Amino acid sequence: MSGAPGVNTLGATPGAVTAAPRHFLDNQIILQTRPKRPGHRWAGHLVVNDIVDTASAEYDQVVLGRALRDLRHRAGLTQEQLAAHLGVDATFVGRLERGKRGARWHTVRRVVRALGATTRQFADAIDRQDSSPSR
């Protein structure tokens, strides 16, 4: 089936995956796939490996936010000044720093550059926050 156009190796049309998990096996979620149009048969199953541990992901967001706050303080900027430099609302910066909002890598790089920091300085800030006790 992998050679058929518009069909993935599981026999399902891309984008035709249900959102509700059907089964859990160890660290896998099995999702049933269904056709986009009524009357068509079920296409198969999709296995999603490596479920993200929610608590771990939230902790990572907090560490990221604290590291960015650390760099912002070192740069001597307020949240409002950083937000203006990035062209975003100050609430975005605040939520990012509190770990209430995640960010994609390109957004993190934009923030780090706006703070005049290097990737190495950002990594060091993450290490400092990751090894510090919870605040």
Could you read off the pLDDT of 3-36 as tens digits, one per residue? 444 433 344 444 444 444 444 444 444 444 555 5
Q: Is the pTM of this model over 0.85?
A: no
What is the mean pLDDT of the segment spanning 36-55?
A: 52
Could you read off the pLDDT of 72-125 as tens digits, one per residue? 999 999 999 999 999 999 999 999 999 999 899 999 999 999 999 999 999 999
Own/partner pairs, 72-80, CB within 8 angstroms, 24+ separation: 72/97, 72/115, 74/115, 74/117, 75/115, 75/116, 75/117, 77/115
CATH number of 54-131: 1.10.260.40
Amino acid occupying residue 125 = A
pLDDT at 58: 87
Give ranges for CATH 1.10.260.40 in the chain.
54-131
